[in-house]
Amino acid sequence: MTQNEPRVFPPDFVWGAATASYQIEGAAREGGRTPSIWDTFSHTPGRVLGGDTGDVACDHFHRFRDDIDLMAGLGLGAYRFSVSWSRVQPTGRGPAVQTGLDFYRELVDGLLERGIAPALTLYHWDLPQELEDAGGWPARETAERFAEYATIVGEALGDRVAMWTTHNEPFCAALLGYGSGVHAPGRTEPESMLKAAHHLNLSHGLATQALRAVLPRSAQVGITFNPGVIRPFSDSPEDADAARRIDALHTRIFTDPVLHGSYPQDLRQDTARVSDWSFVRDGDEATIHQPIDFLGLNYYTPTVVSFAQDGAVKGNDGHGVSEHSQWVGSEDVVQFHPAPGEVTDMGWVIDPTGLTDLLLRFHREVPGLPLYVTENGAACPDKADDAGVVHDSDRIAYVHGHLAAAHKAMEQGVDLRGYFLWSLLDNFEWAYGYSKRFGMVHVDFETLQRTPKASARWYAEVIAAGQLPA
Ligand code: IFM
């Protein structure tokens, strides 16, 4: 295919957009909802830029009907959202709260009425604070509680939601939450980080079993990862080894047990000085290795690493990986480098080839498993004109480039079923608060008014045409 030909997607390709509960819902203290770790973290001075919190966020809890109208106006075929555990089972134990479940039932019904398929994620990082107080993800019991929560949500919505995801980016929940501490709950405990990763994996296995027991047979169950696209700085064997170490810690710590049923031996060796991994019990890896119906992949930017000559861990890849790479191996051996090229407002280099590489990797690793891009998008320094419209040609170029990269992977045989743009709305970007805008719909955080950006209109045209313009 030449540069000048439009890229046509299959007629049943799923065109979606994604959000997450804590980033958009607000209504933090309504309907019996109790604090999650992100409520606690964001209310702790110094944790989130500008002291921003998700107390109000986009107020989607009250405005979800308007937001569904916006989605319908764009012609979205699917909407990926997450459920707030604290809203449906406030203490993380025991009976569900009906008002919480009613909110998600109304949301799902509203989507279905407009012909938009709901794609539900059970966990996008907002653990009920009570469970964190009882030990959080480093505690094995949290995995068991998660399976109970999965049953509650599965029983409530299984008759109307066809696409179920257990976790979004467990990398962030474990490594950023318990390793580097830049995300909630803000702990910096190397062994807890590894335990958290294992219990997130275990909870995926247990929740998948729990969902299968209550969902109709036609329901699709999967998980979303944000695997690193790790590139060695040079061709040297030392830099290849640095890339291997970070790939193990960032990606294979999750993908190997989930997709293949065992932890990588090299990861166990690399991390031997912080843990003997005795928290992995007999049978755990088999439990984690449940059959899944699809794999969700999130991609934003690649990571470049090298061997650090002087043994120091340096640089920052923008994800916080560097802050915990010091626990990989018996010596501190990895240096992060800024990848060359233009960057988004997050400082993340724009490199669509990484998406093609990522899709091809998992196409080869798990042949026959349908893939979705469950997140991809750009934070841009948006400026509204006098009419309040943002002309975000930078975001359009980013999405265009990445859709073309996804199409290229499909030409090479990748079974890619859909693409979810991150994000529908500007929202609470975790430790960056409201300072970073990823939305294709602008949100005025004073008035909460929504205004579609140029990218929203562009995406609607792509969806309507089912193809990317040349
Ligand atoms: O906003 C986040 C989202 O919650 C998870 N994936 C990455 C996005 C951009 O940082």
Domains of the chain and CATH, by start? 7-302+319-328+339-468 (3.20.20.80)
Give the nearest ligand 1 atom to 20 CA. 4
SS3 content of the chain, % helix, strand, coil (to 5): 40, 15, 40
State in Å: Cα 429 to ligand 1 middle: 7
By percentage, how much of the chain surpasses pLDDT 90?
A: 89
Residues with CB under 6 A from ligand 1: 20, 23, 169, 298, 375, 422, 429, 438
- Nearest-Å Rg of the Cα atoms of the chain is 21
Picking from 79-93, 210-224, 305-319, 425-439, which range would have the lowest pLDDT averaged per residue?
Answer: 305-319
Q: Looking at residue 3, what is its pLDDT? A: 65
Which of 297, 395, 423 maximizes ligand 1 atoms within 8 Å of its Cβ, making it the mutation to test the pocket?
Answer: 423
Contact status, residue 166 vs residue 150, Cβ threshold 8 Å: yes
* Contact partners, residue 240, CB within 8 Å, separation at least 6: 232
pLDDT band for 340, please (50, 70, 90 cuts): confident
Give the nearest ligand 1 atom to 429 CA. 1
Contact status, residue 442 vs residue 452, Cβ threshold 8 Å: yes
Which of 25, 176, 319, 375 maximizes ligand 1 atoms within 8 Å of its Cβ, making it the mutation to test the pocket?
Answer: 375
pLDDT band for 336, please (50, 70, 90 cuts): confident
Averaged pLDDT for residues 417-421: 99
Give the nearest ligand 1 atom to 23 CA. 4
Single out the residue of 184, 95, 98 nearest to residue 137, CA to CA: 184
Nearest-CA residue for ligand 1 atom 1 is: 429
Picking from 71-75, 136-140, 269-273, 426-430, which range would have the lowest pLDDT averaged per residue?
Answer: 269-273
- Taking the CA atoms of 76, 377, 245 and 38 in sequence, report the sign of the dihedral they define: negative
Averaged pLDDT for residues 170-197: 95
Question: Phi, psi at residue 314, to the nearest 5°?
Answer: -130, 165
pLDDT higher than 90, residue 4: no
pLDDT band for 325, please (50, 70, 90 cuts): very low
Averaged pLDDT for residues 176-202: 95
Give the nearest ligand 1 atom to 430 CA. 1
Secondary structure letter of residue 339 according to DSSP: P
Averaged pLDDT for residues 224-242: 95
Q: Looking at residue 307, what is its pLDDT? A: 85
pLDDT band for 386, please (50, 70, 90 cuts): confident
Round to whole Å and give the CA distance between 170 and 359: 19
Question: Phi, psi at residue 28, to the nearest 5°?
Answer: -65, -25
Contact status, residue 343 vs residue 398, Cβ threshold 8 Å: no
pLDDT band for 266, please (50, 70, 90 cuts): very high
State in Å: Cα 434 to ligand 1 middle: 13
185 upstream amide cis, omega within 30 of 0 = yes
State in Å: Cα 131 to ligand 1 middle: 23
Nearest-CA residue for ligand 1 atom 10 is: 429
Contact status, residue 106 vs residue 64, Cβ threshold 8 Å: yes
Catalytic residue among 25, 132, 169, 285: 169
Averaged pLDDT for residues 339-354: 95
Q: Does 375 participate in catalysis according to the annotation?
A: yes
Residue 8 tokens, joined: 């046509």
Q: At what angle do helices 60-74 and 454-465 cross, to 10 degrees?
A: 50
Secondary structure letter of residue 41 according to DSSP: H
Instruction: Kindly report the average pLDDT of the chain as a whole number.
Output: 94
Q: Looking at residue 313, what is its pLDDT? A: 47
State in Å: Cα 282 to ligand 1 middle: 34
